[in-house]
Structure 1
Amino acid sequence: MQSRDIAKRLPVASDLDIGALRIFVAIAEAGSFVGGGKATGLTRSAAGKALARLESYLGVRLFHRTTRRLSLTTEGHEFYRRSVQLLEDIAEAEASIRQSQLRPRGTLRLTVSEGYGKSKVIPYLATYLENAPDLAVEVSFTDRLVDLVEEGFDLAIRVGLATSNGQYITQVIDRARLGLYASPQYLHKQGVPASLADLVHHQRLIYGLGATSTAWNLPGEDGEPAIVAGGTHARFDSGDAIRVAAVAGLGIALLPSFIVEMDLNTGKLVEVLPENAKSEIAVHAIYPSRRHLSIRTRCFIEGLRRSLR
């Protein structure tokens, strides 16, 4: 009885040929039957026949074929993404059983907040890639929330609020100090605020568009939370754009310290109310909630965390 119960819980067996998956992935990455065949040690004809058998088995066309080019269909794109993940899982399982040293392979696709990515992630990438010669990276710089599964990303690095979607796992990997910053030219023209209450008379550069709240929640002078409202001269969906706007004298910005380090050092920005506007913001690593985190993603998160320390 017990063995039958276990069998019921096992996934349904598939006759899918793993070798055909490798050929399909090779053709997709090479963009041709010739290149795919060469990568797998096959002739063009053999690679084409293997792909035809795979398409027949799946009941879909994986490629659009013309005399000049080969391109993935919509189903082909989805099957390619899943096939790459499956082949990597198999390789890691084999390596783990053999107790061999795991090394990141394939392509790591990252989406990172622009300011944090440029100041913290890019400098770390040099070390990471030097220690992972079989790995390539693709990095998207954006502050917008990204559907990692839908858009095929392995990992997101986000500053501030993280997704609470049960589809993802979130880790805090860093914390940054928030401060108020403005250009010397703006302060000379508009005056230097002496307290948080004075900010109501200044132009504030706001992160977030549309119906997003424009209020700032800051630690008050008595230690209690203070809500700062007032002028909203300009709004942006990029922290780095707010930095550039502050340097240009458009107003006062509330930003993490890592974004403004260089501008503070060169005198393009100065801190406003440094004793009255101290707060922290968390930096998160976010990745899809798979049973097995890929070695390339795990190594990147662990290495980045060490470098930040």
Structure 2
Amino acid sequence: MELTSINDIVAFVAVVETGNFTLAAKKLGLTRSAVGKRILNLEHRLAARLFHRTTRSLRLTDDGQVLYARSSQILVDLEETESAMAHRSGEPRGRLTVSVPVTLGRRHVLPVLERLLDKWPELSATVSFSDRFVDLIEDGFDIAVRTGKPRDDTRLMARSVARQRVLACASPGYVTRKGAPQRPEELDGHDCLFFLSEGRPRPWSFNVDGHSQQFTGSARLLMDDGEALQAAALSGFGIAYLPTYLTSEDLRAGRLVPLLESYAFDGEPIRVVYPSKRYLSPKVRSFIDLLVDSWGDEPPWEGRD
């Protein structure tokens, strides 16, 4: 019997894990017809039907379920073997796939990644800039940089690489017109600009007597882009609640005025998360180490002039 191609196995697992041929093709960088051909080749070699197909659904047959259980483990074993061999050489190589928040990624992660690529010529990278929550396993990322409250996921490991401060701020012109709130509850009388996350306004958090007090008042303006909120605050449109990696230069230059600083938290972690594996590949380890070296003691956006 002719041996099954590993490429056909990879295509089969991708179809199962994405739920359809189109997404599997996108994940693998192939055409939909190429993925379909690989599945047909696999079914022909195994003399078994792997999927129940209709125009609206795709589900595994009993044979398909058995093959998926074995195939997914084979791919994990292969990946761990490659990681173990790469770990022996110690040099980052191959392609690193990274998911980063839009603004933090563009302003502060990308320069670190460029330094990593300059140092290791055998390493390349694919970077996705998105403020949405991505599933590293399903979407095929090696690592993600995340801010905010962590989500429980036993499939992932996490490491803190820096801390970020988040401050309420407004332009001097706005403060002159509307005044500066002295307590979080006074924000109800102000024009507040909220970040829209997964279809909902992201609450503002204040440290009141050692406890977190959430503010979710009426939003004058909702946007899903941090730099757009920054621009609106700079124009005097209202009060925004923004991380200092975005606003530090404006605060130092006086273009924005910090508000309610005595109620601000010291900082929240910026984490990297990556799939839990026995071996951490050199490319992932090197990226994490460089982020820690670059950001650990005092992130560049918190540096003093």
Global fold match (TM > 0.5): yes
Deviation at 1:235, TM superposition (A): 2.1
Q: Deviations for 1:226-270, whole angstroms, at most 9, x for unmatched residues?
A: 443533112233333322332233321112211112322444322
Partner in structure 1 of residue 223 of structure 2: 236
1:291 aligns with 2:278: yes
Quick check: 2:132–2:198 contact (8 Å CA) kept in 1?
Answer: no
Q: Deviations for 1:101-149, whole angstroms, at most 9, x for unmatched residues?
A: 3111111111111222123211211221122111111111111100111
The structure-2 alpha-carbon separation of the partners of 1:86 and 1:103, relative to structure 1 and needing over 3 Å to count, comes to farther
Quick check: 1:233–1:250 contact (8 Å CA) kept in 2?
Answer: no
Cα root mean square deviation, aligned: 4.0
For 1:146-157, what aligned pairs fall within 5 Å after superposition?
146-157=134-145
Deviation at 1:186, TM superposition (A): 2.3
* Corresponding residue to 1:138 among 112, 117, 126: 126
Q: TM-score, normalised by structure 1?
A: 0.67
Aligned residue pairs, count: 253
* Corresponding residue to 1:185 among 168, 173, 182: 173
List runs of 5+ in structure 2 lacking aligned partners. Answer: 10-27, 31-39, 49-67, 297-305
User: SS at the partner of 1:306?
Assistant: helix
The structure-2 alpha-carbon separation of the partners of 1:169 and 1:30, relative to structure 1 and needing over 3 Å to count, comes to closer
1:277 aligns with 2:264: yes
Give the Cα separation in 2 of the matches to 1:214 and 1:157: 19
Highest CA radius of gyration, 1 or 2? 1
Give the Cα separation in 2 of the matches to 1:178 and 1:125: 24
Q: Which residue identity does 1:144 align to in structure 2?
A: R
The structure-2 alpha-carbon separation of the partners of 1:273 and 1:53, relative to structure 1 and needing over 3 Å to count, comes to closer
The structure-2 alpha-carbon separation of the partners of 1:184 and 1:289, relative to structure 1 and needing over 3 Å to count, comes to same
Structure with larger RCO (C-alpha < 8 A, sep 6+): 2
The structure-2 alpha-carbon separation of the partners of 1:90 and 1:243, relative to structure 1 and needing over 3 Å to count, comes to same
Identity of aligned residues (%): 32
Q: Deviations for 1:206-232, whole angstroms, at most 9, x for unmatched residues?
A: 223577466433012x55544435331
User: SS at the partner of 1:208?
Assistant: strand
Quick check: 2:195–2:201 contact (8 Å CA) kept in 1?
Answer: no
Partner in structure 2 of residue 204 of structure 1: 192
Give the Cα separation in 2 of the matches to 1:92 and 1:290: 9
1:127 aligns with 2:115: yes
